[in-house]
Amino acid sequence: MTTATPAKPRGLFPKTPRPYVHPYFGGMVLGIVLFLALLLTGNGLGSSGATSRIDAAIVDAISPSHVDNNPYLLKMAGGDKNPLDDWIVPVFFGALLGGFTSGLFNGRLKFETTKGPNISVRTRWLMAFLGGVIFLYGARMARGCTSGQALTGGTTLAAGSWLIMFSIFGSAYALAYFVRKLWN
């Protein structure tokens, strides 16, 4: 009886993926990071505000007069304000860089589209984009994304944050029934 040697993984970063961290350990680390963020900066965690600030910076570069006439954008970029001069922008880019670095060092960095057998890659990307746009719009209406609402708002026992999180999970379960065939 002979045993075949496993093929070396190919790709841009040929590493065998490491196992994920235990969820309880990951939760404890996240709790410590949130505690330190609140203690050291007075701010929690979140990222949807950064996308609004990046958008305001782009609009301000193209049409500063529009920014000065729009109350929402005026708060972030009106006059000589720099919309990127806020604590949430480095948190946003830090999360992107941290995810990339984690994927690189743990052998999970690869370009792929995860999908079910009954959906095309193009439809999967379209659904992901539409879902992201709707979710980001909702996050701005709710004055925070899931990380900001669940972690920071939940930690401070904000009733609105708890209501929003129950609504998000309830909506996800209700919608899952209608899109389940895309994943089976």
Q: 46-104, pLDDT tens digit by residue?
A: 888 888 899 999 999 999 999 989 998 888 888 888 999 988 899 889 989 999 988 88
**14-18, 37-41, 78-82, 96-100: segment of lowest average pLDDT:** 14-18
Q: Where are the domains of the chain?
A: 22-110, 113-184
Dihedral sign computed on CA atoms, order 28, 22, 17, 145: negative
Written as six digits, the tokens of 137 are 């719009």
Q: CA 105, CA 93: separation in Å to the nearest integer?
A: 18
115: phi then psi, degrees, rounded to nearest 5 = -160, 165
Asked if 142 and 164 touch (Cβ cutoff 8 Å), the reply is yes
pTM of the model: 0.73
| CA-based nearest residue to 75, from 140, 158, 155, 145 | 140
**Residue 118: how many CA atoms within 13 Å on its side-chain side?**
6
Asked if 107 and 173 touch (Cβ cutoff 8 Å), the reply is no
